[in-house]
């Protein structure tokens, strides 16, 4: 009888041990063969980010560890990032995994909390693509085809090689090189473009502020058309230093939802939720007087990332493989052709001037780990 009880106990231990080995924390990708979940993080310098890492590590995670756990400072093994400034605090040079240090070379932006939230949410691998342009207006730099047609400005189909074209080519370049960007990627897995987070508004003052709602409505609609995904989730985040009114962000999201017949766009009116100077929930985590860049406030950048993820989760589509999706691939081919034709037939004065200034000079110094070789 005693021997039987001992044998039963051993069996239970083996079974529980085996179960513990196979049970994974949310977001672990060991053994995951599903499509890589791809998110575009777009906008100006505050999407780039100025979150202070020392404040995050030495104060915020100690003051509020339940909400901002120390794991935020550690490297994820299931979330990758490309297109960012910096190589992370670990100076990563290839197969770049998420950690602090992918914003303006030594900070973090909304990508940190957003990436952690999505890494915890999915069993598949996650890729974040940052597409950023500091001090760039939606009205001119990010002009989409519909906005260009409406405003009579030069747009991306007429050679304007700026934000909208960058969103296409940087995304396509990353998707074509997933084997280089993500360790262990199997082409059979494919990928799924999940959503876009847009943090913006600083550079659109004056007349540009008045037209921001119209421009953002066109921007969201045209991005979805470019990827062949009419239900692609889009979170429009009002920058804390935005000169465009918060109502423009909300109204644009509402208009897009009505036009598309869905609820896949939403706005975060950050200025009404975060007070960096007067609110004791945020002011202790200021690390600078730089109001344009949110006083380098660690909590503000994290909250924007967390809020964006929570808003987006209910919008996320069921798992599918866009690498084999005919509509998505046809959209890629169509816009690739349209951009090439426009670039060949038209000159972008700003682009041409930049090329002239850089002629004969060595390439600009950029983050080694985020360049696709």
pLDDT in tens, 27-62: 344 446 899 999 999 999 999 999 999 999 999 999
Residue 29 lies in a domain: no
Q: What is the CATH number of the domain that holds 342?
A: 3.40.50.1110
Question: How high is the pLDDT of residue 372?
Answer: 55
pLDDT in tens, 198-212: 999 999 999 999 999
Question: How high is the pLDDT of residue 307?
Answer: 98
The angle, 0 to 180 degrees and rounded to 10, between the axes of the packed helices 212-227 and 163-176 is 30
Residue 16 lies in a domain: no
CA distance 35 to 188: 8
What percent of the chain has a predicted confidence (pLDDT) above 70?
Answer: 88
CA distance 312 to 99: 21
Residue 22 lies in a domain: no
pLDDT in tens, 52-107: 999 999 999 999 999 999 999 999 999 999 999 889 999 998 899 999 999 998 99
Residue 19 lies in a domain: no
pLDDT in tens, 257-289: 999 999 999 999 999 999 999 999 999 999 999
Q: Which pLDDT band, with edges at 50, 70 and 90, does 10 fall under?
A: very low
According to DSSP, the β-strands at 191-200 and 36-43 are parallel
Residue 2 lies in a domain: no
Residue with tokens 């756990």: 69
pLDDT at 20 over 60: no
Question: How high is the pLDDT of residue 367?
Answer: 55
What is the residue range of 253's domain?
A: 35-370
Question: How high is the pLDDT of residue 93?
Answer: 87
pLDDT at 6 over 60: no
Q: Which pLDDT band, with edges at 50, 70 and 90, does 303 fall under?
A: very high
pTM above 0.85, yes or no: yes
pLDDT in tens, 221-247: 999 999 999 999 999 999 999 999 999
Residue 152 lies in a domain: yes
User: Which residues, other chains included, contact 104 with Cβ-Cβ below 8 Å and sequence gap of 6+?
Assistant: 45, 48, 49, 50, 85, 86
Residue 293 lies in a domain: yes
pLDDT in tens, 331-368: 999 999 999 999 999 999 989 998 899 888 876 555 54
Average pLDDT over residues 288-304: 98
Contact 156, 145 (CB under 8 A): yes
Q: How many independent structural domains does the chain possess? A: 1
Question: How high is the pLDDT of residue 105?
Answer: 86
Residue 7 lies in a domain: no
């Amino acid at each position: 009888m005693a021997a039987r009880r001992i044998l039963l106990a051993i069996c239970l231990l083996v079974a529980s041990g085996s179960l513990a080995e196979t049970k994974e924390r949310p977001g672990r990708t060991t053994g995951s063969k599903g499509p890589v979940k791809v998110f575009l993080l777009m906008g100006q310098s505050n999407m780039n980010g100025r979150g202070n890492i020392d404040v995050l590590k030495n104060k915020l995670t100690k003051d509020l560890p339940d909400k901002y756990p120390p794991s935020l400072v550690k490297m994820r093994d299931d979330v990758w990032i490309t297109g960012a400034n910096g190589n992370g605090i670990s100076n990563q040079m290839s197969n770049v995994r998420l950690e602090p240090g992918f914003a303006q070379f030594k900070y973090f932006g909304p990508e940190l909390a957003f990436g952690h939230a999505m890494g915890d949410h999915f069993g598949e691998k996650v890729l974040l693509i940052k597409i950023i342009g500091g001090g760039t207006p939606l009205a001119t730099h990010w002009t989409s085809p519909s906005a260009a047609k409406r405003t009579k400005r030069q747009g991306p189909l007429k050679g304007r090689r700026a934000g909208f074209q960058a969103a296409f080519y940087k995304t396509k370049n990353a998707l074509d090189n997933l084997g280089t960007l993500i360790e262990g990627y199997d082409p059979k897995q494919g990928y799924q473009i999940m959503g876009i987070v847009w943090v913006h508004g600083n550079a659109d003052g004056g007349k540009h502020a008045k037209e921001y709602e119209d421009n953002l409505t066109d921007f969201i609609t045209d991005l979805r058309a470019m990827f062949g995904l009419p239900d692609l989730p889009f979170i429009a985040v009002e920058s804390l230093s935005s000169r465009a009114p918060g109502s423009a962000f909300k109204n644009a999201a509402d208009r897009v939802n009505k036009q598309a017949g869905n609820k896949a766009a939403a706005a975060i009116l950050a200025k009404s939720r975060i007070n960096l100077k007067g609110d004791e929930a945020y002011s202790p985590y200021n690390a600078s007087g730089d109001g344009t860049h949110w006083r380098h406030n660690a909590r503000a950048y994290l909250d924007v990332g967390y809020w964006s993820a929570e808003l987006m989760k209910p919008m996320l589509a069921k798992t599918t493989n866009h690498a084999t999706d005919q509509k998505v691939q046809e959209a890629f081919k169509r816009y690739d052709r349209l951009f090439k034709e426009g670039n060949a037939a038209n000159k972008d004065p700003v682009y041409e001037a930049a090329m002239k200034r850089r002629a004969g000079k060595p390439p600009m110094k950029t983050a080694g780990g985020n360049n696709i070789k």
